[in-house]
Structure 1
């Protein structure tokens, strides 16, 4: 009986603790953990290499990333000198007032004492802002003067798990700038420019920023995905609407594969599309990576630079879109498109020749592997995603008997200047022979006069 009573007390105590925790949290988490099985297979894509931000990698601070913690102290001192009217106590007091709200943002209970948690938020927020302020004054910090420093630091700041709530960063910025002089839109655009490696001398981009931004990765996502894509998350830019696709269904030469009930899961690779006379051109709007259009056999894609940090960035953006409440997986849809277009090194070489991609990796084969592995994490509803209409019309164009016959004609008879000259010469000779025959036969059939 004693053991049963003891177990009953233990269970009640645990239930009471859980009830307190459930009462404490809001249920609207914004900073999540990557599932263990996903993170363990790709640790280098989710874990910070140089800078730990937030509580999830607190052990990294004490061990592998301890050196950067000393740099945070240095930047904290520099940050305090930007507003002499505000002392340490005022900063601590302001962040302390946000503690409960900040704890509610994390999907896991943060096992840090109050002072430890507040200090972490304060130091991490000041670290981010001080790097930003120095970039804005065109006087980058010494951490950014090392060749590997900027790209590694920015990459770490944009990791899905490596975040603090954005309202903490905004609060610290308000104290430095003053509440009355704070221009939110300019601040957000400038900070996003810092994260995207823009030049500080460029004017801030005019954007319709949302009322709530969760963290730096969320800010980056809003910046690179224009509002028009978010507002029309199931309609590809310039793609035909439902009525136009029905009209195309009747006027396009029929094949057995034309009767598509759901969008295809993928489109043929770039070399296969090129063999069916589909042309590739780069769009002159590199600031909008998702402005992909297909019209009259031409697939226009904004240029994309591929380097070692892009895979980490895309992987974490995909993770963010999986957890966003609105379900607008535009980056995920774009990755699925590029994964379909690129299967082999020949696809990479073709797209690079047309300026669609700029491969900064060691080989075309490595770039192909980059996209193939990246596409593994792009799981979503293939029947209802941002580029679903684009997938459909590309597949229909590719499967059309007329388009395939025309492509075969081009490749067989117009695949080189000499072939074109030969065909033109043959047509001229045929025309001359026809005229000669007409003039030869005509006198015999000419009506007699008289």
Structure 2
């Protein structure tokens, strides 16, 4: 009986501790870097794996990433020598935030949790390496060795693009707090968080809109904010709804070609924000997107971050879903490319179609997304009788070249038949017209004019002979 009571007490205490979720809620608020579930990575495992360099603990020490570790140590040397600072100051600065940095990771291994020095060393080496890399985009190469394989013009051209790709992977993130601390030490506190944000964007997103961004969680979060940054002077045009017009519109998505057949024109947006999609008076405006070899991995990790981080939003996911809906085949890509909306840097139009198909697997649009409203506006325009008839006519007769030739041949035959009929009637009409006593207007026909008299020649007088 005593054993039963003891077991009951232990179970009760354990359940009580599990029921107390206040501490767990606090930890949830601090987490921002996640291990992506196997159900997601199974669709495209390589898109979530770093190929050149590791940042943070999740992929540290993997064999194919070890060659970059020696360059991290040299980056620390560059950082310390440039400002003449001591390593001890760096250690003390980050040591004050060690628990905050640990809490940023959703699934931190026990070895990293228990070994404080090991984790702190990782943050310092990875942070200094990342800081030196992003300086390549906006600073001169003074202070670096001319033959440095990474921190040189050679590295900026050949290595930096691969590092940039790995910096935008969700499992390969460093807390932005590390960069904020390192830059503050370098400038004695003169460089604020906004300066660091802009420096990072200059490397990850050249020509990004210059605007004040809030403190970010990590590089991927900062990059996402820059993609969806909305111009405050540009507000979305809302539809003029009368009599519940949009309530009667179906929620299907049409391809770009079908939309264009209905009379809607595509226009390149003036903003680079993914939220810059709008429809107004028969014009669908879309932001420019550059499709290259890193597009798939970047968007997949942005979608994964929105899926795993509560409160992140769903703007990127909704954008990808919308673009995949209007891109059904190569003709749609060619149409958007001709309007300057898609800049294809990966080859064929088919590759772009396959890219968006892969991005949109297992995702859905938020019912409250502004893009759903845009789609309803487009459908309302396409379902107008004249626009629907126009689309059917183009699709039936002008999409197929043989059907088009048949229409042209039928028109020519009809024209020739009409001309033949007209020329057949004219002689008969003219012959009957001359016998009518009345003119075609119903009035008496004027009498015919007398024929002209032949000219009279004067008589020749003959002279009489005397």
TM-score interval, smaller chain: 0.7 to 0.9
Q: Within 5 Å, which residues of 2 pair with 1:192-341?
A: 192-198=201-207, 205-210=209-214, 212-227=215-230, 237-240=236-239, 244-246=240-242, 249=245, 259-260=248-249, 264=251, 266-285=252-271, 287-326=272-311, 328-341=313-326
Q: How far 1:142 sits from its partner (Å)?
A: 3.7
Alignment partner of 1:189 is 2:190: no
Take 2:273 and 2:360, find their aligned partners in 1: how far apart are those partners?
21
User: Quick one: structure 1 residues 353 and 326, their matched pair in 2 at CA, closer, same or farther if it must change by over 3 Å?
Assistant: same
Q: Equivalent residue for 2:53?
A: 51
Whole-Å separation in 1 of the counterparts to 2:13 and 2:116: 23
The match for 2:387 among 403, 414, 435 is 403
Bigger radius of gyration: 2
Alignment partner of 1:143 is 2:150 = yes
When residues 355 and 223 of structure 1 are mapped into structure 2, their CA distance, relative to the original with a 3 A threshold, is same
From 352, 356, 372, the counterpart of 1:388: 372
**Distance in 2, Cα, partners of 1:14 & 1:149:** 52
Is the 1:185–1:207 Cα contact (8 Å) retained in structure 2? no
Q: 1:249 to 1:348 in 2, by over 3 A?
A: same
- 1:156 partner SS: helix
Are 1:306 and 1:358, in contact at CA under 8 Å, matched by a contact in 2? yes
Q: CA deviation at 1:91?
A: 0.5
Per the TM alignment, residue 10 of structure 1 is displaced from its structure 2 partner at its CA by 11
The Cα of 1:134 is off from its aligned counterpart by 3.1
Structure 1 position 50, deviation (Å): 0.8
Equivalent in the alignment of 2:459:
none
Q: CA separation of 1:169/1:405 partners in 2, compared to 1, >3 Å: closer, same or farther?
A: same
Structure 2 gaps of 5+ residues are 416-421, 423-438, 444-466
- Aligned position for 2:86: 87
Superposition TM-score, scaled by structure 2 size: 0.75
Q: How many residues align?
A: 407
SS in 1 for 2:82: coil
Q: Is the 8 A contact 2:306 2:312 kept in 1?
A: yes
2:39 matched residue in structure 1: 37
Q: Pairwise CA RMSD of aligned residues?
A: 4.1
Kept in 1: contact 2:123–2:178 (CA 8 A): yes
2:178 alignment partner, SS class: helix
Unpaired segments of 5 or more residues in structure 1? 199-203, 251-257, 427-432, 434-441
Contact 1:76/1:123 (8 A) holds in 2: yes
Mapped to 2, the partners of 1:11 and 1:148 lie a distance apart of 59
- Aligned-partner SS, 2:360: helix
Higher relative contact order (CA 8 A, sep 6+): 1
Contact 1:24 1:104 in 2 (8 A): no
Cα drift, residue 329 of structure 1: 1.0
Alpha-carbon distance between aligned partners in 2 of 1:118 and 1:375, rounded to the nearest angstrom: 38
1:324 offset after TM fit, Å? 3.9
Q: 1:40 to 1:6 in 2, by over 3 A?
A: farther
Q: Which segment is superposed worse, 136-145 or 106-115?
A: 136-145
**Preserved contact between residue 339 and residue 371 of structure 1 (Cα < 8 Å):** yes
What SS is found at the alignment partner of 2:245? Answer: helix
Mapped to 1, the partners of 2:88 and 2:25 lie a distance apart of 27
Shift of 1:409: 6.2
- TM normalised by structure 1 equals 0.77
1:110 aligns with 2:96: no
Cα distance in structure 2, aligned partners of 1:239 and 1:283: 17
The offset of 1:12, in angstroms, is 11
Contact 2:258–2:391, Cα closer than 8 Å, also in 1: no
Q: Contact between 2:324 and 2:356, CA under 8 Å: does it hold in 1? A: yes
Asked if the contact 2:183–2:196 (Cα under 8 Å) also holds between the matched residues in 1, the reply is no
